[in-house]
Amino acid sequence: MMNIKKLIKPFLDLVFPATCICCGASTEASGKSICNWCRHDRFEKAELVTKEILPAGVHFQFSLWMFDKGGYLQKLLHDLKYNFMMGVGEELGNLAGIEFLKSAEEEILKNLKVQRVLIVPVPLHRKKERERGYNQARAIAAGFSRSTGWDLLEKGVISRVKRTKTQTGLSLTDRSENLNGAFQINRKAHFHGAYVIIIDDVYTTGATSFELAGALLADGVTGAAIVTVAKA
């Protein structure tokens, strides 16, 4: 039988050349949509945070990279949000998982080993998800789940019930007020005794993930953590 993929590959390469989705460099032969330089060296690595700026019950915050305003990463994250790049989101989440396991302190990993860990993507409001076609946080979470082996929360367990205004320009206090009651947990027993790792694309003030963590902690999770691709 003829291999269709092999047959049409030269034509696909003509129309969609194998270039890095982030910087445009050639990714020929790597089979990845992000080039090795972007994957490993282009962006500044972010440090894992376990300190007092996190609310009670939230144990650590990890981001793959520091946000580069006006740069390649900003454009990539924008494209990820609006251009239905499921595969790229998964690739970024997978990379975040690999880096997390490599750089997290022994104590954190030891604690996670004895927990039932659930990977929880920050849900989008139903209308917003319909407009965009998918939730970029879920794509990242799927990749993170693949490289860490922790279970990805199925769809529909949590909903975003409040269509919040844009957070830009609001202080942390105003942001949390804006987000108050934004999430609704539909299947409560699901979380009892679990440890949740909340996944989003960008960590700015943390208001969104803090609100979600608060709702889950009130519902009986043993602890929460936040992982994102970028940190502003």
Q: List interacting residues with Zn ion (CB under 5 A).
A: 20, 22-23, 25, 35, 38
Least distance in Å: CB of 40 to Zn ion?
10
Among residues 72 and 134, whose Cβ is nearest to Zn ion? 72
Residue 138 CB contacts under 8 Å (≥ 6 apart), including other chains: 89, 121, 155
CA distance 62 to 205: 13
Distances, alpha carbon 156 to alpha carbons 60, 68, 99, 189, in Å: 26, 33, 29, 14
Residue type, 217: L
Nearest distance from C-beta of residue 122 to Zn ion, angstroms: 26
Nearer to Zn ion, 71 or 193 (CB): 71
Decide whether 22 or 196 has the Cβ nearer to Zn ion.
Answer: 22
Name the minimum Å distance from CB 5 to Zn ion.
24
Residue 105 sits at φ, ψ, to 5 deg, of -65, 150
Q: How far is the CB of 21 from Zn ion (least distance, A)?
A: 8
Q: What is the DSSP string of 57-119?
A: TEEEEEEEEE--TTSHHHHHHHHHHHTT-HHHHHHHHHHHHHHHHHHS-HHHHHHHHTSEEEE
Residues 6+ apart with CB under 8 A from 101: 109, 147, 148
> By C-beta, is 38 or 49 nearer to Zn ion?
38
Report the largest interatomic distance among the alpha carbons of the chain, rounded to a whole angstrom: 63
Give the SS3 label for residue 21: coil
Q: Are strands 194-203 and 116-121 parallel, antiparallel or unpaired?
A: parallel
CB neighbours (10 Å) of residue 10? 8
Q: Which is nearer to Zn ion, 20 or 152 (CB)?
A: 20
The nearer residue to Zn ion, 22 or 137, going by C-beta atoms, is 22
User: Nearer Cβ to Zn ion, position 76 or 158?
Assistant: 76
For residue 93, the minimal CB distance to Zn ion (Å) is: 17
Q: How far is the CB of 64 from Zn ion (least distance, A)?
A: 14
- Least Å distance between CB 77 and Zn ion? 14
